[in-house]
Structure 1
């Protein structure tokens, strides 16, 4: 269990707690890194990824933790109410929308110290634009252990909806998770144009629905091909999911006409259409080739207990 860290600052101040935990992290690695894996149920408050929206896309680990919870602090309307009704109807639920760390940390700490099972429920995956670590650091500073439980992020739900892969041989070798410039990100820290310029990158833009038109205008001003495919998936996996297809040159106006200002995943790149990719090495006999690149004479044996499943090889 994490021990409280003494500082000269007011220990109730979350920023002081975050700073103290950061210093401790620089000094030495947390022993729990080597004691637990991502699937373990651990001591303390789990920060659970609720997934993109559909309750069925919650992980088994997340479902089990929610079903045992006494208090669930969730991300408000970013978490599908159907999920809360299905798995949290027995628990006290509190929305974190409109609450700052000064309110959230004592709420979760006190419930935990009173013996309750507390779950912090984030939308998508808490490791992607979730602001989870600052809450965890503040809790750890006060002696409350925490841990991550991964969730399905919206980029993966969008990929499933679009019936394509984010990576495709000879089309997209890389995936970039990013956000556009705005209140949080400065113009200098906006690298969307650089990702698009690389050509073989699928760029997934979070928190940028309101800025689709501006983002596309900047890409065109920077000389990018206006015909590059773009898909905007609103509320990926929710009942009201909507998909808008276009290009860098057309998608801004289409999203404006649809009236969406939030809660959409923007995907840029040729992988959006799933066209033009080359067959991979995985299923073309590569796994059966000998050291000289020639097919082994025994490669066509069909006995199940002697055949290697290509899916078990690594790419």
Structure 2
């Protein structure tokens, strides 16, 4: 097997010169040859897509994201498959496992939590497999930010409140301080900021926002285990949410939503349902 980093670099070098021939030839919902990288959704088995469900049900090998994927989903849809957790395994273990299964004629799937395109580290696995001659493709999933907005019974974008959405993560081992733009997003005012992988750092993040002079009354909602049976919502503001989350004891697996859309107040009626969308047809009919 080629060293995974060498494989990733080699695939990146190819893409720098030419586009993947499959782009534009295959759609996102199309079942293709190779190993699908499937988004399992935020937790509730019902939020797995129809295509994802069909693929995992037919699989001989399911390499999944451990406890990040609901065990009920695995038991209900993957009962007859060999199930291997990817937790604690590196590319040197995962790539040969999936490659060998594919070359042996087994139906293998890679099951990520949420959507693999958002903080999923899917592409490096896919590139390493492609370099080994194993085709791969993505099957989208429902990301936790969307499950959180559904739980909060709001929209991430609201007319007159939030025109933009930012998916981000806080500084830490993976993200250097200069690459942390949470404060910039909050400062824009009309951005709903969704923080992934940052439950453990909520208090520190809010303290920094206060030090930077952001409005302490800015709404913040934290949705732990969105769509899971033990889901919990903790609401507050930039000033209070750190202490409230610490009291709840959650250090992981929560989506943090900052902005007025989290409180779903003060929005304006959209143009879509005030007759604006039908004005052209109404005027043309009047002319006839």
Which TM-score band (shorter chain)?
over 0.9
Q: Given the alignment of the two structures, is residue 78 of structure 1 paired with residue 68 of structure 2, yes or no?
A: yes
**CA distance, structure 2, for counterparts of residue 297 and residue 34 of structure 1:** 37
Given candidates 5, 14, 19, the residue that maps to 1:24 is 14
Given candidates 120, 126, 134, the residue that maps to 2:116 is 126
C-alpha displacement of 1:101: 0.2
Show the counterpart of 2:193: 203
Q: Given the alignment of the two structures, is residue 296 of structure 1 paired with residue 286 of structure 2, yes or no?
A: no
Once the two structures are superposed, residues 135-189 of structure 1 have per-residue CA deviations (whole angstroms, 9 ceiling, x without a partner) of 0000000000000000000000000000000000000000000000000000000
Once the two structures are superposed, residues 259-288 of structure 1 have per-residue CA deviations (whole angstroms, 9 ceiling, x without a partner) of 000000000000001100000000000022
Show the counterpart of 1:146: 136
Backbone CA RMSD of aligned residues: 1.1
Q: Given the alignment of the two structures, is residue 37 of structure 1 paired with residue 27 of structure 2, yes or no?
A: yes
Given candidates 259, 283, 288, the residue that maps to 2:249 is 259
Once the two structures are superposed, residues 25-72 of structure 1 have per-residue CA deviations (whole angstroms, 9 ceiling, x without a partner) of 111001101210101000000000000000000000000000100000
**CA distance, structure 2, for counterparts of residue 297 and residue 33 of structure 1:** 40
- The DSSP-based 3-state class of the residue aligned with 2:24 is helix
Q: Given the alignment of the two structures, is residue 91 of structure 1 paired with residue 78 of structure 2, yes or no?
A: no
* TM-score (norm. length: structure 2): 0.98
Show the counterpart of 1:311: none
Show the counterpart of 1:270: 260
**CA distance, structure 2, for counterparts of residue 58 and residue 150 of structure 1:** 9
**CA distance, structure 1, for counterparts of residue 276 and residue 283 of structure 2:** 10
* TM-score (norm. length: structure 1): 0.89
Larger radius of gyration: 1
**CA distance, structure 2, for counterparts of residue 184 and residue 133 of structure 1:** 17
Which 5+ residue runs of structure 2 have no aligned equivalent?
none
